[in-house]
Amino acid sequence: MDKLKKAGEILNKGASLLGAGKVDAAISVFKKAIIIDPKLAAAHFDLALAYQQKGDAAKIISYLKRAIKLKPNDYEALNLLGHYYNTQKKLDLALSAFEKAIKLNPMLAEGYYNLGVVLMQKGRNDEALANYKKSMKIFPDNSIVLNNIGVTLENMGRPLAALKYFQKSLKLNPKNANALCNTGAYWVGINPRKAAEFFKKALETDPNMDNAAFNLAVCLRIVGQTEDAIKLFERALELNPNFSVTYGQLYHQLREVCAWKKADKLLSKMRALTDIDILKGEIPAETGFVQVVYDDNPKRNLKVARAWSKHIEEKVAPYTKKYPFADRKNKKIRVGYLSNDFKDHATSHLMMGLFRLHDKKRFEIYAYSYGENDKSHYRKEIEKLTKFRDITALSFLQAADLIYQDKIDILVDLKGHTTNSRLEISALRPAPLQINYLGFPGTSGAKFFDYFITDIVTTPKKLVPYFSEKLIFMPDSYQVNDSEQKIAKNLTQRYKLMLPDDKFLFCSFNQPYKIGPKLFDSWMRILKAVPQSALYLLAKNDSQMENLRSEAVKRKVDPKRLFFGIPLAKPSHLARLALCDLALDTFPCNGHTTTSDCLWAGTPVITILGKHFASRVSASLLSAIGLPQLTTRSAKEYEALAISLAKDPKKIKKIRESIIINRKSYPLFNTQRFTANLEKAYEKVWDNYSKGGKPKNITV
């Protein structure tokens, strides 16, 4: 028997063994074939296929290279080699292999697809798209390729076009989990409930798809299904413990239900991962928001914010345009406000008066909205008071183009690093001056924001170095408020809300995630020192209420002294705040709108002056209403002040009377004064820009 024939028979035997799942035996047989004929390319290729079943990438690549050296026109081997180079992130080698394979076989649909995948990873999206379309010409009905065309279009900032391809992909294969996930991702910021349905279908198709579990958890978090979100974040972590962002999301949700022990187990791991991620130049485990809420270290706040902004800058880098601003000769300064929250939301509650009072003779005011239209009073009023642009369906590139075409002089982003923000729009620099304001309580860490609006209480001199932006110091408080907020007149008695009439009623309507064990210790010590007292809190879900009651019991406080109130319409919420005696602020993240709501309702708030912006907001608000004496410097002082006020009805009454008087005479709720000062700030920064000056700290 000649050598070639004998080697061929051995290869057939090896193929049979491999087909039967006897991989090691097949490898042994293929190696015998190579001993007989070292130049037999098929034996090297078959060995690569055998090692493919063992997942040994190094050996797969080695044997494929040998096969190709022996048979340079083997397009199948080249195509497979390119695939494995890609898995090893060796993109240039993968690119070369796929190009050679296609040249050898111009009808290799899979080769064009694989080439498209690599080009997409290299950010060469136009070329990727062209290769996907070549693959489609050869093999038209391919759900996988259609999905990837959608992904490429999405990367190119064309989400609506991308959605059409995801839909085409699902029409061909309704169980394409990737297409389901990508369709869901389109809807997350627009309609999270709709998005959730696609992620659920993806998980039904592939229960081990960590991406679907994570994104479904995000949707459930947004719509307030916190307990279910926790379960899915935990599942996502099981499926992919290396996706560090899950740790930050899970930690935040555990804090939302006040599951402090479980959260504490994640804390050190989350922070360690964040530090490692930043060193590696990767997305940190902690989001900018999570970091600033739970960590009052301003140096670390800046590091994390900077890492997230760098990620956004890299994302938009392929689409960055050089928008020329030389033609900016508007008769009025054009200010554009950019947000997801032009609806019944805290941001709109605060901003309404500003929109109403802006001087239309000197300014043109635009609102760019990428959030849902909830048809609320707030949404309708903002639409009337501004040149309103609904950019929900626009890509970040299209939105930036629109802002540029509107010749906006000053773009004010009201979201920062918060849920559903679209910082990509600002990252494209569609306006000559860009400001970070209100929505996010800290620095953006971004190169694409010139200014941050603050005051000397929230940002004293020692904190200035920890802002990437130049600072605009407002003369009173940085926070805008609406002096025409209505308070419901039908809630003037406690019994209507099932609250005790015979108790001194403390309250804290901050979000539950702001309540930590140390803060709760303080609250329980206060309750124990004031026996005839109760604490009224915001109720978000059953787990939160059960956990807080349980924590009260551990601290030997009757859980019946805790009362919970569900979210109410703003006028009713303000009315119930007025029924409370004293509000207890949270730390290290203060109440922001929550604190000004209490003061507008006439209820005193006590706070602790903290170390970063988010922990100094209440102090700023109290100063601006003439009550700096309600700001303390430590937990001990905070507790002592709460107890002394609760035991001194005359003093509390006097403070409440002061609030009612000061609302009219002090600057906190003087919206007209705030608007005039903010407009002075806009004119100052615009004048500086117009004269060719670089952004600099300014004081109004």
pLDDT of residue 40: 84
Whole-number Å distance between alpha carbons of 102 and 49: 21
- The model's pLDDT over 664-695, given as tens digits with 9 standing for 90+, comes to 999 999 999 999 999 999 999 999 999 999 99
Q: With cut-offs at 50, 70 and 90, classify the pLDDT of residue 17.
A: confident
In the numeric block, which tokens belong to residue 699?
């004081």
Nearest CA among 365, 355, 393, 295 for reference residue 483: 355
pLDDT of residue 16: 84
Q: With cut-offs at 50, 70 and 90, classify the pLDDT of residue 395.
A: confident
In the numeric block, which tokens belong to residue 9?
């028979």
* pTM, full prediction: 0.92
Does residue 280 carry a pLDDT above 90? Answer: yes
Whole-number Å distance between alpha carbons of 252 and 258: 10
Whole-number Å distance between alpha carbons of 167 and 180: 9
Whole-number Å distance between alpha carbons of 14 and 6: 13
Does residue 2 carry a pLDDT above 80? Answer: no
Q: With cut-offs at 50, 70 and 90, classify the pLDDT of residue 12.
A: confident
Once rounded to an integer, what is the mean pLDDT over residues 479-500? Answer: 96
- The model's pLDDT over 348-391, given as tens digits with 9 standing for 90+, comes to 999 999 999 999 999 999 999 999 899 999 999 999 999 999 99
**DSSP state at residue 207:** T
In the numeric block, which tokens belong to residue 115?
């080439």
Nearest CA among 114, 109, 65 for reference residue 87: 114
pLDDT of residue 1: 43
Q: Which residues pair with 412 in a beta bridge?
A: 337, 435
Nearest CA among 71, 102, 97, 65 for reference residue 83: 97
How buried is 114 (Cβ within 10 angstroms: 0-12 exposed, 13-18 middle, 19+ buried)? buried
Nearest CA among 591, 608, 579, 599 for reference residue 504: 579
pLDDT of residue 53: 87
- The model's pLDDT over 38-86, given as tens digits with 9 standing for 90+, comes to 888 888 888 888 888 888 889 999 999 999 999 999 999 999 999 999 9
- Please list, in sequence order, all residues whose beta carbon lies within 8 angstroms of the beta carbon of residue 340, skipping any fewer than 6 positions away: 189, 369, 370, 371, 415, 419, 420, 421, 422
Q: Taking all residues of the chain, what is their mean pLDDT, rounded to a whole number?
A: 95
- Residues 445, 449, 451, 455, CA torsion sign: negative
Once rounded to an integer, what is the mean pLDDT over residues 209-226? Answer: 96
- The model's pLDDT over 433-443, given as tens digits with 9 standing for 90+, comes to 999 999 999 99
Does residue 160 carry a pLDDT above 90? Answer: no
Q: With cut-offs at 50, 70 and 90, classify the pLDDT of residue 3.
A: low
Compute φ and ψ for 72, nearest 5 degrees.
-60, -20
- Please list, in sequence order, all residues whose beta carbon lies within 8 angstroms of the beta carbon of residue 37, skipping any fewer than 6 positions away: 3, 4, 7, 43
Q: With cut-offs at 50, 70 and 90, classify the pLDDT of residue 322.
A: confident
Which has the higher per-residue pLDDT, 573 or 396? 573
Once rounded to an integer, what is the mean pLDDT over residues 329-340? Answer: 94
Whole-number Å distance between alpha carbons of 76 and 69: 13
Q: Helix, strand or coil for residue 226?
A: helix
The DSSP H or E segment spanning 350 is: helix 346-357
CB distance 564 to 538 below 8 Å: yes
- The model's pLDDT over 79-90, given as tens digits with 9 standing for 90+, comes to 999 999 999 999
Whole-number Å distance between alpha carbons of 349 and 484: 10
Compute φ and ψ for 525, nearest 5 degrees.
-65, -40
CB distance 202 to 184 below 8 Å: yes
Does residue 7 carry a pLDDT above 80? Answer: no
Does residue 169 carry a pLDDT above 50? Answer: yes
CA gyration radius for the chain?
30
